[in-house]
Amino acid sequence: MLKGSEEACQALLQQLDQLGISYHMVDHPAAETIEESDAYIAGMEGVPTKSLFLKDKKKHFYMLVMDDNKRLDFKEFQELTGAKRVSMAKDEDIMDQLGLVPGIISPFGLAKHPQDVIGVYFD
């Protein structure tokens, strides 16, 4: 677990509780692939998701959580958000902005981040 990630997780869960959002927490070892992470939630209700970390030409950052079987339509995302020239963020951006290992992006990385810096979208 990354330094501070347990505190970040607790902060996120507290925020979900305050917002009245129900959830079910699944504790598991780190997963390095979608297939590996899906195995931990096999048989559970809901849709397996992936989290994408994006940036636009003005270096605004976005986290998009979506069905892991869907492909991102960049043009549609840009139309919905008003962002211009959206692309996948670089590994350095992920480490700098979220403190997370590239390839293992999670909304938990947002818990200790100022809320107005990274746009969060759910598809």
Residue 39 CA: distances (Å) to CA of 26, 49, 101, 104: 11, 12, 20, 15
Helix intervals (H) in the chain:
5-18, 34-40, 74-81, 91-98
Cα–Cα dist 81/86, whole Å: 10
Residue 92 CA, distance from chain mean position: 16
The pTM for the full model equals: 0.74
**Pairing label, strands 61-67, 118-122:** parallel
Determine contact, residues 19/115, Cβ cutoff 8 Å: no
Cα–Cα dist 123/112, whole Å: 23
Residue 7 has pLDDT above 80, yes or no: no
Residue 115 has pLDDT above 70, yes or no: no
**33-82 tens-digit pLDDT:** 778 888 888 888 887 888 899 999 999 999 999 988 899 999 999 999 99
Place of tokens 């347990």: 6
pLDDT above 70 covers a percentage of the chain that reads 90
Domain ranges of the chain: 5-122
Pick the CATH number of 5-122 from 3.90.960.10, 2.40.50.100, 3.40.1390.10, 3.30.450.20: 3.90.960.10
Give the per-residue pLDDT at 78.
96
Determine contact, residues 49/70, Cβ cutoff 8 Å: no
